[in-house]
Amino acid sequence: MKTLDQYLARRMVVTIFQALLALVAIYILIDLLTREGALSSYDVPFGIVVRYYLNLTPQIIYRIAPFAMLVSSLLVLGDAVQSNEVTAVLSGGISLRRFVVVPVLVALLYSIGLFVMDARVGVEAAKEANRIREGYFSLNPDMKRTGISWANLSGGWTCHIAKFNRIALTGENVLMYSRTPDSVQQIEARRIYWDKETKQWILEDGRWFTMNAQETIASGSRVRQRPAPFSEPPEVLFALDKPMETKTPRQLLAEIGNAEKRAVPASDLWVDYHVKFSQPALSFVMIWLAIPFAMRLRRGGLAISFATSTIIAIVYLLVFSVTMELGYAERLAPPVAAWLANGAFFVFGVILFWRTPT
């Protein structure tokens, strides 16, 4: 049995690698064709394009890994069925459960490896890919001077800025206010900017008013240049705007804590946090779907395996999309939204496995 285990493990690993290589190449080719116009319009250097796709590759692998596992498992196990290897093993007194131990272990290690890859390599690579995409493939949206608001800041302050540049971290036409049972404070300033040396937001050219409970002005002072009365740095204020793939689970937890301290709704972040674990685990779920289908699909080879994988993937994506939207809309608890599709497909796969004729 040890020889058979080694044989299955080697075939699984080689086939998974080949599937990943093919799917990554297809993904990059399609993405490159869709960006051809932008690459020509902005005259992006070839080296930048190569660097972009090198940094995008971990993210691509993370996305297509479950599909690669499903296709590979169907090919390897389906071939074992067609060549009567499974029949020979079962005739020799080895159970189907024992036969699939190695594929299941490979899928488990594969899922763990995906999680580690995303946390150690994928996040930083995704940040660099986003930076290149925004800097070279399009007009950077962060250069636009749009309005922005921050609520529930330290000290109870709320800040509205009419025009803000996220690259320069400067804004114009600032209105801030803070309310307590006894008083209301209001600041109107022409400009605000982030000082990298002092790690503070600085207000310039404005007025600071203090009013009593009846909102009658009790005092006022001129603001020439002084620190703003809140301490949140840019990385905290803009954390919620960054895409999920640029954050580790630990960073998401820190952002959730900061959001909850400011009474900012964090349900979206909780959903994203749980997806960080459910997404790699999907590859382990796929092996339990592949085994019973491979035992039943005795003919057809690559075509049937790929078609079956595609159908399963489409159904999963539909279910996963619905549960995620319900989670973001707070209609489902975040853990349920992130894990429901995995759980349903895992149970379905295990039931099929137990009912597989041997």
pLDDT at 238 over 90: no
Same domain, residue pair 131 and 49: yes
Strand partners, 209: 186, 220
pLDDT at 119 over 60: yes
For the purposes of burial, counting CB atoms within 10 Å of the CB of 111, is it exposed (0-12), middle (13-18) or buried (19 or more)?
Answer: buried
* C-beta separation of 67 from 290 below 8 A: no
Same domain, residue pair 29 and 111: yes
Looking at per-residue pLDDT, the higher value among 347 and 4 belongs to 347
Residue 175 located in a structural domain: yes
With CA atoms as reference, report the closest residue to 216 among 247, 241, 183. 183
Same domain, residue pair 279 and 348: yes
State the CB neighbour count (10 A cutoff) for residue 97: 13
How sure is the predictor about 240, in pLDDT bands with cuts at 50, 70 and 90?
A: confident
How sure is the predictor about 236, in pLDDT bands with cuts at 50, 70 and 90?
A: confident
Same domain, residue pair 190 and 295: no
pLDDT at 103 over 90: yes
pLDDT per position as a tens digit, 274-291: 999 999 999 999 999 999
Same domain, residue pair 218 and 289: no
Q: How far is 36 from 141, CA to CA, in rounded Å?
A: 20
- Residue-wise DSSP of 208-271: EEEEETT--EEEEEEEEEEE-S----HHHHTGGGS-GGG--HHHHHHHHHHHHHTT---HHHHH
Residue 261 located in a structural domain: no
Looking at per-residue pLDDT, the higher value among 86 and 218 belongs to 86
State the CB neighbour count (10 A cutoff) for residue 63: 14
Same domain, residue pair 131 and 272: yes
pLDDT per position as a tens digit, 27-58: 999 999 999 888 888 888 999 999 999 999 99
Same domain, residue pair 119 and 28: yes
- Where in the sequence is the domain holding 27, given as residue range(s)? 2-138+267-354
Stretch 222-239: mean pLDDT, rounded? 91
pLDDT at 125 over 90: yes
Same domain, residue pair 70 and 182: no
Stretch 51-79: mean pLDDT, rounded? 94
Same domain, residue pair 128 and 170: no
Q: What is the DSSP letter of 168?
A: T
Residue type, 93: G
Q: How far is 99 from 37, CA to CA, in rounded Å?
A: 51
Of 231, 259, 281, which residue sits at a domain end?
A: 231
Same domain, residue pair 126 and 196: no
Q: What is the helix (H) or strand (E) element at residue 205, kind and residue range?
A: strand 200-212
Q: Count how many domains the chain has.
A: 2
Report the SS3 class of residue 35. Answer: coil
* C-beta separation of 19 from 74 below 8 A: no
pLDDT per position as a tens digit, 281-321: 999 999 999 998 888 765 555 567 677 788 888 899 899 99
Strand partners, 194: 201
Same domain, residue pair 107 and 50: yes
Give the per-residue pLDDT at 181. 81
Give the per-residue pLDDT at 37. 85
Q: How far is 80 from 76, CA to CA, in rounded Å?
A: 6
pLDDT at 141 over 60: no
pLDDT at 235 over 70: yes
Assessment of whether the complete model's pTM goes beyond 0.75: yes
Tokens describing residue 19: 């599937």
Percent of the chain with pLDDT strictly greater than 90: 59
Mean pLDDT of the chain: 89
Give the per-residue pLDDT at 144. 64
Give the per-residue pLDDT at 213. 65
pLDDT at 106 over 80: yes
Tokens describing residue 145: 């001077």
Give the per-residue pLDDT at 260. 84
Instruction: Average the pLDDT over each of 27-36, 87-96, 135-144, 335-344 and give the range with the smallest value.
Output: 135-144
Give the per-residue pLDDT at 216. 66
Residue 295 located in a structural domain: yes
